[in-house]
């Protein structure tokens, strides 16, 4: 059909400004939805170990850079992600705004790369389209990139600092594919050998960046090979090998590094790789992922680890039907390379985290970030075909307007989802609403409430977390710690704290130093309470049990020494024992604790070792000065002088 100027609808070519306008609109859309996150707090979930307490990101020093590239962060070897955190720290310190802004900017770049990738694919000979930039092509690319930009499943990796691995991996994957397309295009030009090799090198570097950000980047060679297999002229094998060998080597090394890492103890990893349970779980997760993609509601950072019991479970049945329909659709599209490639990208990118292979998270929204690129490509190709079928400009405009409305609805849903990430309490309250049977959600909400000074509200969530998973060592530790040391003494429960901490130690076979320290702290604080009630014998027993639970914990030893040296019950007071215990505690702190040295002096005096007592008190004064606590040093010096005067009068 032609218009008044003789142009067919399909051939209405815009200026470059129209293309740039849509690209700019995509950036504005992303900023409108996600920019509020720069004012949000850190979410203390994985961020604690990766950022807040990670010494290797504190400055771009040679030592830190060496550590970043030679050690693991938590359980994974993701040095590019850790390096990006170090750069953030160099620029912003530990202010969350800078870290979140970096995530947002990476997402903006990814959206632009998706937009321009779709335009490049539209002009690829495999697309069967005319080689100019049709206005309708640009609109279709803008819609599809817009879906990728603001689909609710991208909220998690964009607003959660620890989700950066998905952003960086996808950035590397898109960069790799753009370079590979350039290399293939240059393959048809004589005299472009140097440029072609440079493009292949760029693709390999981008692939390495992706794999060093997240091990799932190992699927990139599969994506590139799938593209070549669908689009190259015969003979294909030699061309594919030449163009992808380096990528395959990077992918294989990535998998090897991942396999050599520590095994994760979470539930999904305990399901046999070739078991019936694994098959049911895979079908279940496939359906849940599809449902999340097409009905993105009730999203949360964690979901309950509910394993299917039977092939008759509704979600397993729906998963099986979905797999069958997906296979039929792929077969139907076998003659259309571009939409087929988009769907293959989606499936291949989702496979590593879809429980076909064991993964420590059964499912998570962030796992959809890279696969969503493929779905955006497939949607763009499908929309372009739909526009091509419509013979009137009005119908084509209607399709584009409908697409724009869908993007705006997705953006609104994402903006609401972003609101739940304001702080830890708002995030985990939302998560508990979505996943009421998740022990992780209840435990994390309890931790967030405790951190916010609302331990009374945290209590039922700690109890619910332990009801769901009685042996969760993290919950046992955190609950016991708060019951033993909460600022509100009215909320303390030493008996329950000791019981929970002891259970945690038994669950970990007494190998967890953190749980042993928590048990020792609970016993120590209980002993202090007993001492205040003048139950000295029970206090001595509790101090002793605390030192046995954690022999490297000095507090119960110092407290025991002081009690043995000053107890009002002469039957329990014992100077020599007090000296022995105090010396053991001082050895732990390397004789650098001023208060501890003062306790040693008191014990020595009780044992009649006055010279040793004077020496210990002098060391205490020196330790206080070295620590910069002049007030304590003056007080200890005054106490030492008073004791000396008292001794002189006794003589």
Tokens representing 625 are 């000065």
Per DSSP, 48 falls in state I
Query: Could you tell me the pLDDT band of residue 527, with boundaries at 50, 70 and 90?
Result: very high
Q: What percent of the chain has pLDDT over 90?
A: 68
Q: What is the pLDDT of residues 290-317, one digit of tens each?
A: 999 999 999 999 988 778 888 889 999 9
Report the range of poorest mean pLDDT among 88-102, 181-195, 339-353, 526-540. Answer: 181-195
**According to the model, what pLDDT value does residue 238 have?**
87
pLDDT of amino acid 8: 43
- C-alpha distances in Å from residue 1, one per residue of 4, 164, 200, 394: 10, 47, 42, 12
Q: Is the pLDDT of residue 96 over 80?
A: yes
pLDDT in tens, 566-584: 999 999 999 999 999 999 9
CB–CB of 469/504 below 8 Å?
Answer: no
Report the 10 Å Cβ neighbour count for 306. Answer: 14
Burial 434-471 (b: 16+ CB within 10 A, else e): bbeebbbbbbbbbbbbbeeeebeebbebbebbbebbee
Give the mean pLDDT of 532-545.
Answer: 96
Mean pLDDT value of segment 504-518: 96
Nearest to 515 by CA among 547, 542, 487, 550: 550
Give 2's strand partners. Answer: 8
pLDDT value, residue 7:
41
* Bridge partners, residue 73, by sequence: 76
Orientation of helix 135-150 relative to helix 369-389, angle to 10° = 150
Pairwise pLDDT comparison (431 vs 189), residue with the higher score = 431
* pLDDT above 80 for 272: no
Q: Are 93 and 58 in contact (CB under 8 A)?
A: no
Reported as a single tens digit per residue, the pLDDT across 22-54 is: 999 999 999 999 999 999 999 888 788 889 888
User: Which of the two residues, 202 and 385, has the higher pLDDT score?
Assistant: 202
Give 342's pLDDT tier (boundaries 50, 70, 90): very high
487 DSSP assignment: S
DSSP letter at 232? P
The encoded tokens of residue 297 equal 């509601």
Residue that the structure tokens 């003056």 belong to: 634
Q: What gap in Å lies between CA 553 and CA 161, rounded to an integer? A: 34
Residue 267 clears pLDDT 50, i.e. is over it: no
Mean pLDDT over 615-642 rounds to: 85
Residue 295, CA distances (Å) to 291, 362, 372 in order: 5, 19, 14
**What DSSP state is assigned to residue 42?**
P
Region 268-272 average pLDDT: 52
Residue 479 has what pLDDT?
97
Place of tokens 């690209």: 23
Asked if 108 and 126 count as a contact pair (C-beta separation under 8 A), the reply is no
Confidence of residue 218 (pLDDT cuts 50, 70, 90): very high
> Which is more confidently placed, 22 or 2?
22
Beta bridge partners of 76: 73
Distance CA(545)–CA(556), nearest Å, equals: 9
Q: CATH 1.25.40.10 spans which residues of the chain?
A: 427-586
Write down the pLDDT at residue 650.
42
* Mean pLDDT value across residues 516-532: 97
What pLDDT score does 579 carry?
96
Asked if residue 415 has pLDDT above 70, the reply is yes
User: Which tops the pLDDT comparison, 646 or 175?
Assistant: 175
Count of Cβ atoms closer than 10 Å to residue 631 Cβ: 8
Placement of tokens 């990208």 in the chain: 345
Instruction: Write down the pLDDT at residue 188.
Output: 63
Q: What are phi and psi of 73, to 5 degrees?
A: -100, 115
Give 169's contacts (C-beta < 8 A, 6+ positions apart). 210, 211, 213, 214, 216, 217, 370
Handedness of CA 38, 40, 43, 44 (dihedral sign): positive
Looking at per-residue pLDDT, the higher value among 302 and 358 belongs to 302
72-76, 201-205, 623-627 — which is least confidently predicted? 72-76
pLDDT band at 10 (very low <50, low <70, confident <90, very high): very low
Sign of CA dihedral 455, 457, 458, 463: positive
Q: Looking at domain 427-586, what is its CATH homologous superfamily?
A: Tetratricopeptide repeat domain (1.25.40.10)
What pLDDT, on a 0 to 100 scale, did the predictor assign at position 345? 96
Average pLDDT over residues 215-232: 94
**211 pLDDT band (50/70/90 cuts)?**
very high
Using alpha carbons, select from 255, 185, 178 the residue that is nearest to residue 223.
Answer: 178
Res. 191 pLDDT band, cuts 50 70 90? low
* Average pLDDT score over the chain: 88
* Selection from 163, 238, 151 nearest residue 415 by Cα: 151
The per-residue pLDDT for 534 is 94
How confident is the model over 349-363, as a mean pLDDT? 77
Instruction: Report cis status (omega within 30 of 0) of the bond before 235.
Output: yes
Q: How many CB atoms lie within 10 A of CB 537?
A: 12
Output the pLDDT for position 330: 92
> How many other CB atoms sit within 10 Å of the CB of residue 301?
27
pLDDT confidence of residue 481: 96
Question: Does 135 have pLDDT greater than 90?
Answer: no
State the average pLDDT over residues 119-133: 67
Q: What is the pLDDT of residues 462-498, one digit of tens each?
A: 999 999 999 999 999 999 999 999 998 899 999 999 9
Look-up: residue for tokens 């998690």?
156
Per-residue b/e over 196-220, b at no fewer than 16 CB within 10 Å? Answer: beebbebbbbbbbbbbbbbbbbbbb
- Compute CA distances 132 → 10, 129, 185, whole Å: 10, 9, 16
- In 10 A of CB 240, how many CB atoms? 16
State CA 463 to chain mean position distance.
Answer: 25
Q: What percent of the chain is modeled with pLDDT above 70?
A: 89
Per-residue pLDDT at 132 = 44
Count of C-beta atoms within a 10 Å radius of residue 55: 9
pLDDT at 514 over 70: yes
Cα–Cα distance for residue pair 446/439, rounded to 1 Å: 10
Mean pLDDT of 493-519: 96
Give me the helices (H) in 261-308, please.
276-294
Report how far apart, in Å, the C-alpha atoms of 113 and of each of 45, 131, 213, 361, 369 are: 30, 20, 18, 28, 14
Task: Calculate mean pLDDT across residues 261-279.
Answer: 62
What is the arithmetic mean of pLDDT over 604-624? 91
Q: Which of 148, 147, 144 is nearest to 383 (CA)?
A: 144
Cβ partners under 8 Å of residue 375, min gap 6: 147, 293, 342, 343, 345, 346
Q: How confident is the model at residue 443 (pLDDT cuts 50, 70, 90)?
A: very high
Note the pLDDT of residue 309: 84
Q: Give pLDDT, residue 358.
A: 63
Q: Is the pLDDT of residue 648 over 50?
A: no
* Mean pLDDT, rounded, for 421-429: 95
Which DSSP helix (H) or strand (E) runs through 321? helix 314-332
Over residues 322-332, the mean pLDDT reads 92
pLDDT above 60 (res 645)? no
| Beta-carbon-side half-sphere exposure of residue 508 (alpha carbons within 13 Å) | 18
pTM for this one?
0.88
């Amino acid at each position: 059909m032609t218009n008044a100027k003789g142009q067919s609808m399909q051939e209405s070519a815009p200026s470059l400004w129209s293309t740039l306008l849509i690209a700019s609109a995509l950036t504005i859309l992303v900023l409108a939805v996600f920019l509020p996150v720069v004012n949000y707090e850190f979410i203390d979930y994985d961020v604690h170990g990766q950022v807040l307490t990670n010494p290797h990101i504190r400055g771009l020093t040679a030592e830190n850079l060496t550590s970043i590239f030679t050690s693991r962060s938590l359980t994974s070897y993701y040095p590019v992600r850790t390096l990006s955190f170090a750069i953030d720290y160099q620029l912003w310190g530990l202010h969350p705004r800078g870290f979140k802004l970096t995530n947002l900017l990476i997402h903006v770049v990814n959206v632009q790369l998706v937009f321009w990738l779709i335009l490049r694919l539209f002009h690829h000979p495999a697309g069967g389209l005319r080689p100019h930039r049709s206005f309708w092509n640009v609109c279709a690319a803008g819609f599809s990139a817009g879906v990728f930009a603001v689909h609710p499943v991208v909220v998690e990796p964009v607003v959660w600092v620890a989700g950066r691995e998905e952003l960086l991996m996808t950035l590397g994957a898109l960069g790799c594919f753009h370079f590979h397309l350039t290399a293939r295009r240059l393959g048809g030009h004589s005299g472009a050998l140097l440029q072609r090799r440079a493009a292949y090198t760029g693709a390999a570097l981008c692939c390495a960046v992706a794999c060093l950000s997240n091990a799932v980047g190992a699927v990139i060679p599969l994506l590139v090979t799938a593209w070549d297999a669908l689009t190259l002229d015969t003979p294909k094998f030699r061309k594919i090998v030449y163009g992808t060998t380096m990528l395959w080597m990077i992918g294989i090394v990535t998998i090897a590094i991942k396999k050599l890492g520590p095994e994760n103890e979470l539930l999904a990893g305990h399901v046999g790789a070739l078991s019936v349970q694994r098959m049911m779980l895979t079908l279940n997760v496939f359906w849940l992922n599809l449902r999340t993609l097409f009905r993105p509601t009730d999203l949360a950072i964690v979901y309950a680890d509910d394993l299917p019991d039977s092939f008759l479970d509704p979600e397993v049945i729906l998963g099986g039907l979905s797999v069958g329909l997906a296979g039929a659709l792929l077969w139907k599209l076998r003659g259309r390379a571009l939409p087929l490639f988009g769907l293959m990208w989606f499936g291949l990118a989702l496979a590593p985290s879809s429980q076909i292979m064991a993964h420590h998270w059964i499912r998570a929204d962030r796992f959809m970030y890279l696969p969503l690129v493929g779905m955006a490509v497939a949607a763009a190709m499908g929309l372009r075909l739909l526009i091509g079928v419509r013979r009137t400009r009005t119908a084509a405009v209607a399709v584009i307007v409908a697409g724009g409305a869908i993007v705006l609805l997705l953006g609104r849903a994402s903006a609401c989802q972003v609101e739940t990430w304001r702080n830890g309490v708002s995030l985990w309250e939302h998560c508990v609403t979505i996943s009421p049977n998740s022990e992780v959600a209840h435990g994390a909400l309890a931790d967030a409430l405790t951190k916010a000074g609302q331990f009374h509200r945290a209590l039922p969530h700690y109890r619910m977390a332990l009801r769901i998973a009685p042996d969760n060592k993290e919950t046992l530790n955190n609950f016991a710690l708060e019951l033993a040391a909460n600022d509100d003494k009215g909320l303390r429960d030493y008996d329950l704290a000791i019981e929970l901490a002891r259970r945690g130690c038994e669950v970990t076979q007494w190998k967890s130093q953190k749980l042993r320290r928590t048990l020792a702290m609970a016993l120590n604080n209980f002993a202090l309470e007993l001492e205040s009630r003048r139950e000295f014998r029970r206090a001595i027993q509790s101090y002793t049990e605390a030192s046995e639970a954690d022999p490297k914990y000095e507090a119960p030893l110092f407290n025991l020494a002081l009690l043995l040296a000053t107890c009002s019950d002469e039957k329990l007071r014992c100077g020599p024992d007090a000296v022995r215990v105090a010396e053991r505690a001082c050895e732990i702190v390397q004789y650098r604790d001023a208060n501890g040295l003062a306790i040693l002096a008191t014990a020595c005096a009780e044992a009649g070792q006055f010279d040793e007592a004077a020496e210990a008190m002098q060391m205490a004064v020196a330790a206080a000065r070295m620590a910069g606590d002049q007030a304590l040093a003056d007080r200890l010096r005054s106490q030492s002088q008073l004791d000396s005067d008292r001794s002189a009068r006794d003589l």
